[in-house]
Structure 1
């Protein structure tokens, strides 16, 4: 059992400076292959959202954004096409609005949420409008569930492999669903949790604390031991856990990445903290084949935005030559309704993709 003194609560090297890029989307691989670094730099400055703020004095003056992006097999012409779409969106203000309206009129099929609406499951949903589809919901093994139920408000999100979900999108656990949450973690072999919300925002509970503040706690048959808590910077922290099934005595380790800088009533003023956060998550996750659990309060808004950004950038990193961000959003909405709830969140996702592409292109040998 860990004691308070054994916890590793420390600041990382580096704050995060702010800056925001403009909206972008991209389709197709035919781009301008001959574009040079001067164009990339000019696009970058063109999308700057004012002067760069210096990081908080409590952190090192070396910004974490200076870390180079992970090695990428991104097709260069696709990357430049994304940047060309950035410019197009700046010139054509109506484009984004029309794209969002088309997304809002899209209807998934099948779209039944009947199981989530059953009387026995109503109180297991944090928000009545954020429910999992029947066909893609995560099912618990009812025989080991304390309530003998298989329902949890969570959805599998697949990318290209229909046999292996890339993510589980879920709500912040309720007081009476914490044990269900850990059962889901255990049964799906998850090793990474991405938490996109504070526990309380504006006086309203967004998620039950589903881990011990120190030492260990038992949630039904799952003993969760907090091993360490690293405050990487003012925007996020990282917790490490040992998870033990007390019935089988099997133990596992997992990591929770907790983003603190996304306001509950809007979007961040900069994409950079989120992109830096994502790099840390992917560095930990690399090479694993289990789904990443992503949750906010309702499991649709901030969680959906993170999944959209991560899926598009992962596709690009693998060298996919055609990127259609709106179509990718439709794809993930086929698996959980309401992912990316507002136009601002969609624009933020486009902006984040464009800014990361810009960083990757700058890091490539010219």
Structure 2
């Protein structure tokens, strides 16, 4: 038998730049993709990116997640996931730049939210937001969006109204060194475009604030729950996963059967880092509860197909594993190895 030549040493991966607004080119080690599925023909970088995001995965049983978790070094290596950011040239929408908080954080065209405009057709249909799939690939479970800007507050409420959303999760403070989001709800009552917003109730919890807002358009009035979780540093992770899991539980308790078919609107500042972590955590909790295992890599890849750059840093990816390990430990019954 002819002896095969020794395999050349694997090239060192080139890390994705993790700063917000990165436009660094993606370099993939194609040899590493072979662990997912062999690539038998020459593909464009875009095709390679989509192939990876659609096929990559690494399921972890509930027992393994708690007792044999991947090391920080393994997770750092695993987090070399294509970002799938949209280049400005690929978003052919005149005037969109004035409505983007970060010029290189743009909505992926195939899943972007388009406004129908109860306000005015002259405003166009653009908002920096994407529909995000949920557990088991269910369509339009979430809307991930940037924190509203002074000139996009009425667009934000237009989207909430159009999608009949009854829950908004805010994962940033208004100021974190610089403006991260403008205040888009009133202390008591105010008008934003054609929408009249009235603050009816406010309850301070240890880790977040819950508000009940009445949103009126013409003769119709709807109730919207607004949850502000401010204990999450930008580009960092909370000190403990407990508060995030309690926020996930708050969402579960908030969703009545009629509201479960409507998207949950979630935003931080750019709508990809903390927003991605929250969505991935909820999907992961649902997987663990239903299946006794979780595919965190697969979840993040699915998120990035819908909105580029979801989960921004290695630290956030590691925190996601810790949060889901804590949730797994809270489930009834002992997991088997």
Report the Cα offset of residue 159 of structure 1: 2.6
1:206 corresponds in structure 2 to: 180
How many angstroms apart in 2 are the aligned matches of 1:343 and 1:112?
23
Residue 146 to residue 230, structure 1, CA distance change in 2 (3 Å): farther
Report the Cα offset of residue 245 of structure 1: 0.5
Give a deviation string over 1:280-330, Cα, whole Å, max 9, x none.
12201242210100100000010011011111212333x235521101100
- Pairing of 1:105-254 with structure 2 (within 5 A): 106=82, 108=84, 114=89, 116=91, 118-142=93-117, 144-145=119-120, 147-159=122-134, 164-202=139-177, 204-214=178-188, 216-233=189-206, 235-246=207-218, 249-254=219-224
Report the Cα offset of residue 266 of structure 1: 1.5
Deviates more, 1:256-265 or 1:223-232: 256-265
2:265 corresponds in structure 1 to: 293
Q: Structure with the greater relative contact order (CA < 8 A, sep ≥ 6): 1 or 2?
A: 1
Give a deviation string over 1:148-174, Cα, whole Å, max 9, x none.
210000000013677741100000000
Aligned length: 275
Unaligned runs of 5+ in 2: 1-58
How many angstroms apart in 1 are the aligned matches of 2:334 and 2:190?
44
- Asked whether the equivalents of residues 83 and 354 of structure 1 are also in contact (C-alpha less than 8 Å), the reply is no
- Asked whether the equivalents of residues 89 and 96 of structure 1 are also in contact (C-alpha less than 8 Å), the reply is no
What TM-score comes out, normalization by structure 1 length?
0.70
- Asked whether the equivalents of residues 146 and 220 of structure 1 are also in contact (C-alpha less than 8 Å), the reply is no
Deviates more, 1:278-287 or 1:348-357: 278-287
2:252 corresponds in structure 1 to: 282
2:64 corresponds in structure 1 to: 84
How many angstroms apart in 1 are the aligned matches of 2:138 and 2:66?
34
How many angstroms apart in 2 are the aligned matches of 1:143 and 1:252?
16
How many angstroms apart in 1 are the aligned matches of 2:96 and 2:287?
36
- Asked whether the equivalents of residues 87 and 104 of structure 2 are also in contact (C-alpha less than 8 Å), the reply is no
State whether structure 2 residue 322 is matched by structure 1 residue 342.
no
1:302 corresponds in structure 2 to: 274
2:40 corresponds in structure 1 to: none
- Asked whether the equivalents of residues 116 and 151 of structure 1 are also in contact (C-alpha less than 8 Å), the reply is no
How many angstroms apart in 2 are the aligned matches of 1:115 and 1:88?
42
Please report the RMSD computed on the Cα atoms of aligned residues, expressed in angstroms. Answer: 2.5
What TM-score comes out, normalization by structure 2 length?
0.75
